[in-house]
Structure 1
């Protein structure tokens, strides 16, 4: 009887917290738009107004995702037999795990930074690093919004090629990563969690213990990475939406054989989402930039970013961080040259 009451009390608290989380997530963008635009009169389309709005909105969004997803994954890890799940995936083979990671990445509408909380949870749960990194590539790279806008602006055959190319890059890099022991380059804080200690105790935890452990783990991860989130989003806000189109037209035009490489590298600092980058890509295409170079620029801008690198540095050691960014960049360069050959 006492245990049932305790469990009921725990689930009541969880329900209230979940309702509050949903409310905050729903209100996040609306509150900042009202406060900054309507109340303070800032121009949300201008550089200052859009940058401030971006910083406040994206910071709260990532904090909410970080705490919410870590709690959910912590509860799953405390409640499920993850060893059996891993054994099941191992029996199905690496290919199935990589395909599932790509599918999950495609259907989750996360930007390059918002996908990091789920990535942390997957790594902490013991899912193979090659599979989690495949998800981290696919989630921002294959954007449903970008695909729809590309289809509308460039043609649906180009949108289909974009989705296939992004999925192929994630699968190929994930397979290459699976050939190496990369776990030594993951920071220890990802593995030394409250849930891991709870499961190591060898007993079946109560619901109260599971909730408490998930809450504590969420707090531990949050306190470890929050400064990195602020730093990353702050840099992103400062450069948000700023694209020197004349620079791209001059140095990444059709006359430069290294245009695709220039587009891949130059897209990283821009930190724009799929909805924001496709109109820019269309403008660059109208100025004469080849389609492959445009696609490389588009995919680089949404898949890689300086804020993402800053946040990932808290969970990945420099060698793996460099390997991750270098591999994705090389993949995008290859896709650019392939697109230029197929769609001259």
Structure 2
């Protein structure tokens, strides 16, 4: 290698060393996040892991860091990948006649990514900013928290193959159809404009052609900072609300007013589920307890789906990137699907 080539290679080597170091640091921080807060909250602070205060404080700090890291990593990677393909080309590839197939793929991807509703938001932002059609992205946002392998395994152990297949099939169907309907409504106009913008060094650019690797990395870093600055208040409010209601469930009230003899039990189950915050695995013990008290399976599945797919903290997080009209439409479409599933299952399994 000549002296000139050696000099030219130094910036390249420095750049990839910095990127590699950042990636190693990200993985390390994500790996130690849970044990760190376990130690700090339960061992150092002495809070009871089984109490609502202890679990709520732990939830707030752990999830704040986790979602912040997910936002940072996903937005950076997606922005760099996006720089190789224009938004218009991505939409053309995934939209139009392929949109229905895209909804199926997005829902399937959601199943194998065991995110809770708030953790799915970073991936949602990345997909939308990459130009993936909003309807396809909504299919992922619905399926990811609602149906995952952990929930399927636990349901299978608790209730057997029948209810498990019904739950998984219904969740996928709601995600696919709900996303497709939202896509047909052309709700892109209700997404905040900054999500679609491609910026480089503070300026919106129209084309990604001719960008260098330094440009692409700069875009990724800038996009991370820009989005985090815009959504951090919503992030903390949403996670804070989730921490307050974490682990709380009105079991006695539910058993009293959402029984088999109440024709409005399914809508009530959905209304009760929205303010709560849990993943599918976390809410299953309550579902099992209520099932033992005689509540119909359709009502319980509707409650479970509402908890994991329509949580209030998730909607608060989404508010920074979606306009209220789209959030309301999203809730209406998903809730309608959940209600249909609840009543149908109650009728079939009666």
Common fold, TM-score beyond 0.5? Answer: yes
Deviation at 1:212, TM superposition (A): 0.9
| Superimposed CA distance per residue, residues 51-86 of structure 1 (whole angstroms, 9 cap, x where no aligned partner) | 000001111111000111000101101134555444
Write the mapping of 1:252-263 to structure 2, written as runs, cut at 5 A: 252-263=258-269
What residue ranges of structure 1 are gaps of 5+ in the alignment?
Answer: none
Deviation at 1:137, TM superposition (A): 0.8
Deviation at 1:179, TM superposition (A): 1.8
| Superimposed CA distance per residue, residues 214-235 of structure 1 (whole angstroms, 9 cap, x where no aligned partner) | 1001110011101110000001
Question: Quick one: which of 170, 175, 179 aligns to 2:175?
Answer: 170
Write the mapping of 1:153-164 to structure 2, written as runs, cut at 5 A: 153-164=158-169
Q: Is 1:243–2:249 an aligned residue pair?
A: yes
Determine the structure 2 residue equivalent to 1:72: 77
Question: Quick one: which of 167, 178, 197 aligns to 1:192?
Answer: 197
Determine the structure 1 residue equivalent to 2:226: 220
Give the stretch that moved more between structures: 33-42 or 198-207. Answer: 198-207
Write the mapping of 1:41-190 to structure 2, written as runs, cut at 5 A: 41-80=46-85, 83-90=88-95, 93-190=98-195
* TM norm structure 1: 0.96
Give the stretch that moved more between structures: 47-56 or 72-81. Answer: 72-81
- Partners of 1:188 and 1:202 in 2: how far apart? 18
Cα pair 1:65 1:114 within 8 Å, conserved:
yes
Determine the structure 2 residue equivalent to 1:9: 14
Q: CA RMSD in A?
A: 1.7
Query: Number of matched residues?
Result: 344
Deviation at 1:296, TM superposition (A): 0.7
What stretches of structure 1 move > 6 A for 4+ residues in a row? Answer: none
* TM norm structure 2: 0.94
- Partners of 2:125 and 2:254 in 1: how far apart? 35
Determine the structure 2 residue equivalent to 1:21: 26
Cα pair 1:10 1:207 within 8 Å, conserved:
no
- Partners of 1:81 and 1:293 in 2: how far apart? 45
| Superimposed CA distance per residue, residues 11-46 of structure 1 (whole angstroms, 9 cap, x where no aligned partner) | 111111111111111111110101111222210110
| Superimposed CA distance per residue, residues 301-329 of structure 1 (whole angstroms, 9 cap, x where no aligned partner) | 11111111111110111111101011111
Cα pair 2:147 2:280 within 8 Å, conserved:
no
| Superimposed CA distance per residue, residues 277-320 of structure 1 (whole angstroms, 9 cap, x where no aligned partner) | 00100000111110100111111111111111111110111111
